[in-house]
């Protein structure tokens, strides 16, 4: 029995004949770079837990939300929506052609949410009370209460959707079939939950109409956050599929490059449609709220640059790439769109927030805030690679 367990450990987890070989196999250039980033990140985590938020960050009374909220939560959760987008397309709308994209998308969402919650622990003053809204501190009128419960429920949904691959890996056919049968119900419930908290993250800023610059403040902020989350989810699906289908191609039993490019172009069309909808709504909001007089200001230049560089230009190039059947450019533009969503969240949370404060007095993150955020990105990448190498994520 002991030999059987040891053999299974080597085959299923280590993917190496022994532990020594596994450890030496980790010393690659990319792993060394990742290790250095994690070293600084873990130092920042320990330092923050021991000495608190004040010494570890540059937060103050004017900026209680810093990089960890703007990047790890607002941007991270928006880019953790591939399960929402692909799961809905495959399991609810019957787009079976994209079924091979569904499991990697669900894994991306699961890891994105798990590490977002881990990062949130370091941003909370009383991190040990993170479970209070779930257990007994029920603030039913609070948007943050809604976000907290939705996070909790959606992580459970992602786990349920991920379980078929996990139990298939363990060889537990009955459990695999049971959780597979729950897939459509989990997806339907997940659409409601994910859509709710994606928009609720934007609703957090509705209570600060005087603090957020008028060009970014809008009653439609919840809708803008939801649309950009859908946009980010599809962009991440293209990015993730491009990387995994290149470096883990050996796991695919039947890989047709032409068919894969065709599906990428299909996602490019969807990206163009959603991006068009977003830009139209932003334009209507700009005119309806009579904000054109702010365009000539410094913040107006920033607003125009954001929507030109990460909205109009990518849309024009996407339409060209889809028409001319250029899947390579769809992949490049997906990276650019994902970057644009990160920039948007940083502007809303950090730059356009407290816009009346002089630039010399604005918040700038400390090196520990940057190190912790980068370490979370590295952990997501390493965890994704670890699971794809071992679990049947790309193919049954």
pLDDT of residue 26: 79
pLDDT of residue 226: 93
Domain membership flag for residue 19: no
Residues 233 and 85: beta-carbon distance below 8 Å: yes
pLDDT of residue 257: 81
Domain membership flag for residue 258: yes
CA angle 181, 182, 183 (to 5 degrees): 90
Number of domains in the chain: 1
Residues 238 and 268: beta-carbon distance below 8 Å: yes
pLDDT, block means (10 residues), the chain with 396 residues:
50 66 80 94 95 92 90 92 80 75 87 91 87 80 85 90 89 89 84 86 90 94 94 92 82 80 92 96 91 90 95 96 94 95 95 90 93 95 90 75
Phi, psi (5° rounding) for residue 158?
Answer: -65, -40
pLDDT of residue 5: 46
Of 273, 279, 280, the closest CA to residue 306 belongs to 279
Q: How many whole angstroms separate alpha carbon 151 and alpha carbon 308?
A: 32
CATH label of the domain that carries residue 320: 1.20.1630.10
Of 109, 85, 106, the closest CA to residue 267 belongs to 85
Domain membership flag for residue 332: yes
* H helix intervals, the chain: 2-9, 19-25, 29-51, 53-56, 67, 76-78, 82-87, 99-123, 132-135, 143-170, 173-181, 183-203, 221-247, 257-288, 298-307, 313-323, 327-346, 367-390
Domain membership flag for residue 5: no
Domain membership flag for residue 14: no
DSSP β-bridge partners for residue 353: 212
Per-residue tokens: 169: 């890996």
Domain membership flag for residue 179: yes
- Residue 343, judged by CB atoms within 10 A of its CB (0-12, 13-18, 19+), counts as middle
DSSP β-bridge partners for residue 212: 353
Where does residue 172 fall: left (phi above 0), alpha (psi -120 to 50 degrees), or beta otherwise? beta
Q: What is the dihedral of CA 200, 205, 208, 210, to 10 degrees?
A: -140
pLDDT of residue 255: 77
Domain membership flag for residue 222: yes
- Residue 102's domain comprises 34-390
Domain membership flag for residue 25: no
Contacts of 194 (CB under 8 A, 6+ apart): 81, 83, 84, 150, 154, 229
pLDDT of residue 15: 67
Contacts of 61 (CB under 8 A, 6+ apart): none
Per-residue tokens: 318: 């996407």
């Amino acid at each position: 029995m002991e030999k059987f367990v040891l053999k299974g450990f080597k085959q299923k987890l280590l993917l190496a004949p022994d532990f020594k070989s596994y450890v030496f196999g980790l010393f690659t250039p990319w792993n060394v770079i990742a290790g250095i980033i994690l070293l600084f990140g873990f130092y920042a985590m320990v330092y923050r837990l021991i000495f608190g938020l004040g010494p570890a960050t540059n937060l103050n009374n004017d900026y209680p939300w810093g990089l960890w909220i703007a990047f790890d939560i607002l941007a991270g959760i928006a880019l953790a929506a591939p399960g929402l987008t692909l799961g809905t397309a495959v399991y609810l709308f019957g787009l079976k052609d994209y079924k091979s994209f569904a499991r990697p998308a669900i894994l991306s969402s699961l890891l994105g949410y798990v590490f977002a919650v881990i990062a949130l622990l370091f941003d909370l003053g009383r991190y040990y009370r993170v479970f209070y809204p779930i257990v007994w501190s029920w603030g039913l009128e609070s948007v943050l209460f809604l976000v907290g419960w939705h996070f909790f429920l959606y992580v459970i949904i992602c786990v349920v959707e991920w379980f078929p691959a996990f139990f298939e890996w363990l060889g537990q056919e009955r459990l695999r079939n049971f959780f597979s049968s729950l897939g459509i119900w989990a997806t339907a419930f997940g659409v409601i939950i994910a859509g709710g908290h994606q928009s609720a993250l934007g609703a957090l800023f509705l209570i600060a109409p005087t603090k957020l610059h008028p060009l970014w403040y809008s009653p439609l902020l919840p809708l803008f956050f939801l649309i950009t989350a859908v946009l980010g989810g599809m962009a991440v699906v293209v990015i993730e599929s491009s990387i995994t289908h290149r470096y883990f191609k050996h796991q695919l039993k039947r890989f047709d490059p032409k068919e894969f490019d065709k599906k990428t172009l299909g996602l490019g069309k969807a990206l163009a449609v959603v991006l068009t909808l977003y830009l139209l709504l932003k334009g209507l909001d700009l005119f309806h709220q009579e904000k054109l007089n702010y365009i000539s200001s410094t913040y107006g230049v920033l607003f125009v640059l954001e929507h030109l560089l990460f909205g109009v230009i990518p849309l024009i190039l996407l339409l060209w790439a889809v028409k001319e059947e250029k899947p390579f450019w769809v992949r490049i533009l997906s990276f650019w769109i994902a970057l644009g969503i990160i920039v948007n969240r940083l502007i809303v949370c950090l730059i356009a927030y407290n816009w009346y404060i002089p630039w010399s007095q604005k918040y700038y993150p400390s090196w520990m805030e940057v190190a912790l955020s980068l370490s979370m990105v590295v952990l997501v990448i390493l965890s994704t690679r670890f699971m794809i190498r071992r679990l049947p994520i790309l193919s049954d």
